[in-house]
Every structure is written in C-alpha cells, then in structure tokens.
Amino acid sequence: MSTHHKQAASILWFRRDFRLADNPALRAALQQGGPVIPVFIWAPDEEEPWPPGAASRWWLHHSLVALAEALDKKGSRLIVRSGSSERVLRLLIRETGATAVFWNRLYEPAVLHRDRRIKSTLRDTGIRVETFNSALLFEPWTIANKSGRPFQVFTPFWRYCGSRKEPSEPVPAPREIPFPKARLRTVSLDSLGLLPKIGWDDGLYKAWTPGERGAKQRLRTFVKKGLADYEPARDQPGLSGTSRLSPHLHFGEIGPAQIWHAVQAAAAEGRQKGRIRSAETFLRELGWREFAYHLLFHFPHTSDRPLREEFNDFPWRSDPAGIKAWQEGRTGYPIVDAGLRELWRTGWMHNRVRMIAASFLVKDLLISWTAGARWFWDTLVDADLADNTLGWQWTAGCGADAAPYFRIFNPVLQGGKFDPEGTYVRRWVPELERMPDRWIHKPWEAPEDVLRKAGVELGTTYPHPMVDHAKARKRALEAVGMEG
C-alpha cells in the first residue's frame, strides 16, 4: 500500500503555469508526500484593471483542457472552481484537510497584491504556503544596478543578467501525481464561459495548439528548423522566421529555462551552421521579456501611466473613427493593415509589424498608446501585461529605454525593407494581391493603368491613406515641441 495517503494532502494552485515538466510548485507538493490536489480558480475580477481579454480567454480554455488531460494520465485530475481565490482555497482546505498550499509566482501588480494577502492570511491559520519562480530566468527583485536601483536601460540590464549563473536544468514531468480518494466538487471548463459566443475564432484554431504538448512541439520545430536562420529571417513578416512561443510562455506551458537550455544545446551542436549568433539574438529576445517584467515589478503604475512623467500631459487626440479604421486594418497603409488583419484572424502579429502598427497609431494618428495597448490586450493570444506595456511605451517614447520620440517609422519604407516582395501584404490584404512589388506598399502612387490591371480602385476596393505620413510626422514632432 502506498504511504502517500497517510500524509496530509497539499493543494497545488495552477494559475498560468500550465505544465507538468519543470514546474517547481508541483515538485514541492510531491516532495511533501501525501496526495496533491491541483486546482484552477477562475477569478478574473482579481486581475483588475486587466482581466484577460477575449483571445487570452480562448487560449486559457484550451490550455486548461490540455492540462486536465495531462493530469488524468498521471492518475490525477484538475479541480476547477470559480469565485474569490482566497475563499475557494479555504474551502478546499476544509474539505480535504490539506496542510499546505503551493503555487508559482505571477508578477502583475494586482495579482501580486492579492497573492501576498492570501499568503499571509493562510499562514496565520497555520497552513504552510510556499511559492516559486517558474515564469522567469531571474526574479525582478534580484537584479539591480550598481546603486541598488532597478535598471531602466536594456543593454546594461541584460549584461548584468549574463553575469549571473545560468538557469538550472529543467526537471522532467513526474511519472504519477497522487490524488485523494475523496470526491471533490469541480465545475466544467465550459461553464466558465471562456470561449466566444460568436465564432470569430476559426483562424485561432488553424494557427495554434495550446497546451504543454503544443509548446514542446513548437520549440522542437523552431530549434530544428528556425534557429539557424533566426537572425536574418526574424524581421521579415512574410517568412515564418520567429519562434511563435510567446503565448505558450505567457501561459506557462513552457518555461524560459526550458527554452534557454534547448537553444543553448542546439547552438553548441550546430557551431558550424552559424547558429551561435542566431541563438544569442534569440536569447536576447527572452532577455527583453525579462526586462519587461523587471520594469512592471519596479514601476507598477506603468501599465496605465507613462514611466517618463513629462509624457503625462502629452496632447493625444480623441479620434474614434481613426482608431476604428486602425483596428480594422483600413488605414490605407498596406503593411499596417496587413498586421491588424493578421491580428484579428490569428490572435497574433509579427513583432516587426507590431512596432510599425504601434508607431502609426501613436505618431501618425496621435492616438494614445493606452488605446493601442487595450486593443492588443483584447486581441493577442500572447497578451502579456509586462510585454504589452514595455512595447507600447517604447514605441510612444514614454517608457524605459524608449525609442526617442522623433524615431517615427515610415510605413512605406518599413514595408519595402522588410516585406520587399509584398508576400506578407498579399497574404493579409488580398485586394492588393495583383499589385506589382514596386507599388504594393504605396498603391496611391501607382499609375492609373497599374491600378486598373491589378483590379484596385482606391477609395472603393482599398482605402486611400488616412493621413499623409510626411505631414503626420511633422505634426507629431510639433506635438512634442520638436519642429522638423
């Protein structure tokens, strides 16, 4: 007879760490001995003012389905409840006699606040509470500059991280997870209402496989096929040159240490294949994710307000028609429209295009970065508060290590440089499919007969540009007090 069941049970609280491999909270629960009760609590109100958006909820549903199946195979099951996290945990402790609660840390300000409160009230009642890092290479409070303050520039931040010891080797999933004999109440995942009522999600099903298995498959494919060319290919949206691991990372279906070690191993193996440089470039992208978390942890107000206070009074325009045209990919600038349409259909947008589309909103249309951040939050499957905040503040020029405000992306030049044959634009803006490469990023400059031959009628089949970029650039510089 197993000795497990003589010991008191422990609760494993899953939040956004939906994997069984390399999961320190799960490991600690197993080491304690006794049965383990995995629970997921749906409490979106506790993530105010940033509860998960529609695309995130779609992913969450499918990720939880995958986690429940994986737990079943280990002789366990996922208990799903909704309501106040603290109340659900207390109830579960009463029902099962559990003496310990384990979880992996999250770093969003509202969630941190809630977790600290729960930890202290449970400990006050004699419950053992242990929390772990499963989401980052380095915890935000362990990294500081020479004067003991948080970094605000990426390069010295990442250099300092490089001087720290490597993340430890990932631990494989356990063979089995003991579950208590008692029957425990659980609600169906469908009852949480995470999936959309109207079917806008067909493209998401085609593009993604949420869950730990999908994450491992994505990493394997990238390391085998994508890593060698990552350096040249990552900036070209027409190629599948990026890892597309971001949503899997956000939901903790794979951890950064697993990615780190897989990429290092592949680089070491393929020295002669020019993989080293690509590996360094790719790991630096993981570094940007770490930096984003570092900033949000130390400057929690930045999800809603600029880090650089001089931007508090920036004269943003109110332009409901403008933001709607941008959201729907009807700006008249093909590379921008392609990005917004890719986002709507697949829940994702290529990183280079995110920068171009964001720059267009905040610089060409003078619409606040917060409006863009909200749209990305609702439509991206990898919507991540730290990354989203860093990206938008960087583009708007009001964050840490921000692009200077006068760096304004020219959508025509960016399109020509990174999508020279218009592959990406043709895929997402099919009405321009027959435009020659020379004009695909600036159809309004094309001669009449070229437009006619391509079946493009500006203002009818494809919009005229919303703004003249050169004039919009001048207006943006005047708004910040920099004529030119």
Which has more confidence, 479 or 127?
Answer: 127
Domains, the chain, in order of start with CATH, read 4-133 (3.40.50.620), 136-169+213-298 (1.25.40.80), 309-477 (1.10.579.10)
pLDDT tens, residue by residue, 426-472: 999 999 999 999 999 999 999 999 999 999 999 999 999 999 999 99
Cis peptide before 156 (omega within 30 of 0): no
Confidence of residue 276 (pLDDT cuts 50, 70, 90): confident
| CB of 349 closer than 8 Å to CB of 373 | no
With cut-offs at 50, 70 and 90, classify the pLDDT of residue 348. very high
pLDDT the model gives residue 277: 86
90 has a pLDDT exceeding 50: yes
The answer to whether 285 is a known catalytic residue is yes
Using 50, 70 and 90 to split pLDDT, how confident is the model at 407?
confident
> Is 13 an active-site residue?
no
3-state secondary structure of 39: strand
Residues 6+ apart with CB under 8 A from 413: none
Catalytic residue among 47, 139, 285, 433: 285
**Mean pLDDT, residues 90-109:** 97
306-329 residue pLDDT tens: 999 989 999 999 999 999 999 999
DSSP string, 268-319: HHTGGGTHHHHHHHHHHHHHHHHHHHHHHHH-GGGGTS-SSGGGTT--PPP-
Kindly state the DSSP code that residue 219 receives in the 8-state scheme: H
First-to-final CA distance of the chain: 80
Confidence of residue 3 (pLDDT cuts 50, 70, 90): very low
Q: Which residue reads 């990354």 in tokens? A: 387
Q: At what angle do helices 54-73 and 369-379 cross, to 10 degrees?
A: 40
- Report yes or no: 26 and 66 within 8 Å, Cβ to Cβ: no
Selecting among 86, 130, 200, 316, the annotated active-site residue is 316
Average pLDDT, integer, range 268-295: 88
Please tell me which residue in 46, 47, 95, 288 is annotated as part of the active site. 288
Beta carbons within 10 angstroms of residue 257's beta carbon: 20
Q: How does residue 1 score in pLDDT terms, banded at 50, 70 and 90?
A: very low
Query: Is residue 444 annotated as a catalytic residue, yes or no?
Result: no
Residue type present at position 349: M
Q: Does 314 or 273 have the greater pLDDT score? A: 314
Asked if 351 is an active-site residue, the reply is yes
Pick the catalytic residue: 86, 344, 351, 444?
351
Confidence of residue 268 (pLDDT cuts 50, 70, 90): confident
Return the structure tokens found at 105: 């840390």
Catalytic residue among 392, 394, 428, 439: 392
Q: pTM for this one?
A: 0.96
